[in-house]
Chain A
Amino acid sequence: QKEVEQDPGPLSVPEGAIVSLNCTYSNSAFQYFMWYRQYSRKGPELLMYTYSSGNKEDGRFTAQVDKSSKYISLFIRDSQPSDSATYLCAMSGDNTGKLIFGQGTTLQVKP
């Protein structure tokens, strides 16, 4: 079993929909949680960076961390065709610098 599980999709939604992306994990030592967006043939782009449990909002993006359930989510409001990409969750323990990634979820937003 992988340390971080993420449904690969693909996930297809109409423009303007609210998108929910999720990851589960098994290592209770994880304290830092990140979401990256990766366009085809590009490097991952950091979207959200959170520490421990709670919510963080940045524009149309909201990240949620529930450490008790070992579950993290990324919500995208008013989704746009330009949001079509692969979304990767990543997490890490204290002071390791080693990120553990999910497999990534492919999202397609249709006009």
Chain B
Amino acid sequence: KAGVTQTPRYLIKTRGQQVTLSCSPISGHRSVSWYQQTPGQGLQFLFEYFSETQRNKGNFPGRFSGRQFSNSRSEMNVSTLELGDSALYLCASSLGWGNNEQFFGPGTRLTVL
């Protein structure tokens, strides 16, 4: 069974731009969660989507948003990029809403210049 896939793997953007990251969950998994990983703050929860609806949200500004499609694939968007948004963005999939057994993808490394 294929794992979680994320595209692109690497991105370089400049301040003020926006970016869209994509995540395809494991086949049969219907819930997708997003996390930000930085050296200083570690792994922090951004949001969880299930059945095309955001079910849970972390403590991030409104510049961070996401959506989920009917095939469970998910995208997250960051608008008006700041230097501090440079991070590894990780997507995790699980069978259903609120399921804590989460499997991570390889991540998208975003660098903001």
Contact of A98 with B106 at beta-carbon distance under 8 Å, contacts A44-B90, A46-B101, A103-B42 already known: no
Would you give the 0/1 interface string for A4-41, flagging 1 where the beta carbon is closer than 8 Å to chain B? 00000000000000000000000000001010100001
- With beta carbons under 8 angstroms apart, the residue of B4, B31, B42 that contacts A97 is B31
Those of B54-113 within 8 Å (CB) of chain A: 55-56, 58, 90, 92, 94, 97-107, 109
A-side binding surface: helix, strand, loop or mixed? loop
B43 sits at the interface (CB 8 A): yes
Instruction: Tell me which residues across on chain B come within 8 A of A97, comparing CB atoms.
Output: 31, 33, 48, 50, 55-56, 94, 97-100, 102
Instruction: List the A side residues contacting B58 at CB < 8 Å.
Output: 98
Interface size for B (C-beta < 8 A) is 28
20 new A-B contacts at CB < 8 Å, known A43-B106, A104-B42: A34-B101, A34-B102, A41-B109, A43-B4, A44-B90, A46-B103, A46-B104, A49-B101, A88-B42, A88-B43, A95-B97, A95-B98, A97-B33, A97-B50, A97-B55, A97-B94, A98-B45, A99-B33, A99-B35, A101-B43
Interface residues of A (CB under 8 A from B): 32, 34, 36, 41-46, 49, 88, 90, 92, 94-104
